[in-house]
Amino acid sequence: MTGDRDTGGAGDPFAALRAVADAVLYEGYLLYPYRRSSPKNRVRWQFGVLTPRPWAEADGPVRHAGVSGAVDTWYQQTECLVRAAPTAVVRLRVRHLQLQRKQAEERDAEGRYRPVVSLEADGAVHLTFDEAVPHETDLELPLAGLLREEVRRPVGVPAGEDTEVLAGGRGRVVRTRYRADAVTAVRAEQLPAHPGLYRLRVRTENTGTVPGPGAPRTEALRHALIATHTFLGGDGLEFLSLTDPPAEAEALARDCRNVHTFPVLAGAPGTRTAVLSAPVILPDHPRVAPESPGDLHDAAEIDEILTLRTLLLTDEEKREARATDARAAGILDRVEALPPEVLGRLHGAIRSLRPARPSEPYQPSRGSGPAWWEEGGDDGLCPATDTVLVDGVTVGRGSRVLLCPSGRGADAQDMFLAGRSARVAAVLHDVDGSVHVAVTVDDDPAAALHGWYGRFHHFRPHELRPLGPGPRPDQERCDGRPRVAEA
């Protein structure tokens, strides 16, 4: 991910949120190796894309609106809970990218310009490519007015064109932006039986009518709002978390309808004065990793490996990346200027350590034998022979189980294995005292191969059901009741 990190002005109420929001704004903007010729950079703009409604509904209205931000739609809706005085003022900032077509044009002997894919002038290469320009619109609205009626404000952007004549007169670069019409509608609702608690709704819509339903996506993107996201804040407001709401507001939080966006508390941990509603899933109080020295690639999530890979690009590859986009050139400049001590900080960090539980103190290995967490260690832990109780049944290597991944906290891939039978390969103890069971799926054609080189699926004991005497695996369900055959 790329993006200019701007701390904002001294009077900017959302300045502290900008680093994270910029990471959202440029999510997937340009991917390693940052070259136009790379296949992964030929299909772009995947998050928060609001296209004109006629194009978005070319195949009919979306019947399953869902919450995914990685879908082309014509609107985005945020609903959140806020405690406030009637005199409170709500502040919003709607941010997005506007596509900008960068077209290289070569000048012929008669002085006429013709479009070309690539143009070299004065030692620099200029490639035709789609760039993007960031935009943001600020709104300041009294809560009292929002309680009376919905307020609608334009947040679209005008068309425009800039021309850069290249040195030597060989040609020029023309950057063209297309008009995108949009509005943001804001409304507040007093929640009955909860004095001082309100539901705040922010809905941003692309109101354009061009292009029509039959246009290609490349044309629809010209009139779209891209990577759309919203800041919410204000004076005298306290927002409630929707992911971890207080007990008395759990039902109200579930009733909030967020479509194509995910609102979370923003700012320093413990604060409740701002919300970032983004088209990607974030935790409450997201932040850029402190090890990141600036805008590198992915806010330090995978900065180290991408930095090393970028340094290995050939000179020709770097030349193409610089010609592709100014942001790509900026990444290369920052990577090549990175001091060794800063690169070393990207190697990894320990955010926290849980103390050992009093009943299970840390015991270092004695003598020259293996440590306690290794197979055959001093306390006798051994994945091949250890067992764990599951529903009162001892389960260990060779046991057959039914896979029932829990709906909360389970890996997305594991959810596809629900109801499948498997064989236990090992019982593993983590250093924090938790237990995981490694299994191979019975009907996996590669189960024997996975067992040979140690590639397993891992489940927690409560996600398993022992398979013993009784119904066959294909007749049993995760809830323990027999599975009824369907006609």
Q: Going from the N-terminus, what domains does the chain have, and what CATH number goes with each? A: 1-43+288-340 (no CATH), 45-287 (no CATH), 387-475 (2.30.30)
Is the pLDDT reported for residue 312 higher than 80?
Answer: yes
Give the pLDDT of residue 361.
46
pLDDT tens, residue by residue, 261-285: 999 999 999 999 999 999 999 999 9
Q: Give pLDDT tens digits for 196-207.
A: 999 999 999 999
Q: What is the dihedral of CA 353, 354, 360, 361, to 10 degrees?
A: 40
Distance, in Å, from the CA atom of 293 to the CA atom of 458, rounded to the nearest integer, reads: 36
User: Exposed/middle/buried for 397, CB within 10 Å: 0-12, 13-18, 19+?
Assistant: middle
Q: What is the pLDDT of residue 301?
A: 53
Task: Report pLDDT digits (tens) over 158-194.
Answer: 999 999 999 888 899 999 999 999 999 999 999 998 9
Do the Cβ atoms of 144 and 186 come closer than 8 Å? Answer: no
* pLDDT at residue 379, rounded to an integer: 53
- Work out the burial of residue 85: count CB atoms within 10 Å of its CB; fewer than 13 is exposed, 13-18 middle, 19 or more buried: exposed
Helix axes 303-311, 326-336, angle to 10 degrees: 90
In contact, 211 and 52? CB cutoff 8 Å: yes
Cα 59 to Cα 68: distance, rounded to the nearest angstrom? 18
Contact 401, 422 (CB under 8 A): yes
Three-class secondary structure assignment of the chain: CCCCCCCCCCCCCCHHHHHHHHHHHCCCCCCCCCCCCCHHHCCCCCCCCECCHHHHCCCCCCCCCCCCCCCCECEEEEEEEEEEEEEEEEEEEEEEEEEEEEEEEEECCCCCEEEECEEEECCEEEECEEEEEEEEEEEEEEHHHHHHCCEEEECCECCEEEEEECHHHCEEEEEEECCECEEEEEEEEECCCCCCEEEEEEEEEECCCCCCCCCCHHHHHHCCEEEEEEEEEEEEEEECCCCCCCHHHHHHHHHCCCECCEEEECCCCCCCCCEEEECCCCCCCCCCCCCCCCCCCCCCCCHHHHHHHHHCCCHHHHHHHHHHCHHHHHHHHHHHCCCHHHHHHCCCCCCCCCCCCCCCCCCCCCCCCCCCCCCCCCCCCCCCCCEEEECCEEEECCCEEEECCCCCCCCCCHHHHCCCEEEEEEEEECCCCCEEEEEEECCCCCHHHHHHHCCCEEECHHHEEECCCCCCHHHECCCCCECCCCC
Whether the Cβ atoms of residue 158 and residue 133 lie closer than 8 Å to each other? no
269, two tokens? 């941990």
Supply the Cα-derived Rg of the chain in whole angstroms: 28
| Residue 140 in tokens | 């300041």
Residue 9 has pLDDT above 80, yes or no: no
**Cα–Cα distance for residue pair 125/275, rounded to 1 Å:** 42
CB 35 within 8 A of CB 331: no
> What pLDDT, on a 0 to 100 scale, did the predictor assign at position 177?
98
Find how far residue 174's CA is from the centre of its chain: 33
Predicted confidence band of residue 215 (pLDDT cuts 50, 70, 90): very high
Residue 471 has pLDDT above 50, yes or no: no
The answer to whether 118 touches 128, Cβ cutoff 8 Å, is yes
C-beta separation of 13 from 235 below 8 A: no
Per the structure block, which two tokens stand in for 199? Answer: 């539901």
Of 458, 21, 6, the closest CA to residue 276 belongs to 21
What is the crossing angle of helices 315-324 and 326-336, to 10°?
Answer: 140
Q: Report the pLDDT value the prediction gives residue 65, as an integer from 0 to 100.
A: 57
Nearest to 457 by CA among 409, 403, 419: 403
**According to the model, what pLDDT value does residue 52 have?**
96
Average pLDDT over residues 112-128: 92
Please say if the pLDDT value at position 236 is more than 60. Answer: yes
pLDDT at 298 over 80: no
Q: Are strands 400-403 and 464-466 parallel, antiparallel or unpaired?
A: antiparallel
pTM for the whole structure: 0.72
- Smallest Cα–Cα separation from 421: which of 458, 369, 343, 473? 473
d(CA 46, CA 29): 9
Query: What mean pLDDT, rounded, does the chain reach?
Result: 85
Min mean pLDDT across 268-277, 310-319, 396-405, 474-483 is at 474-483
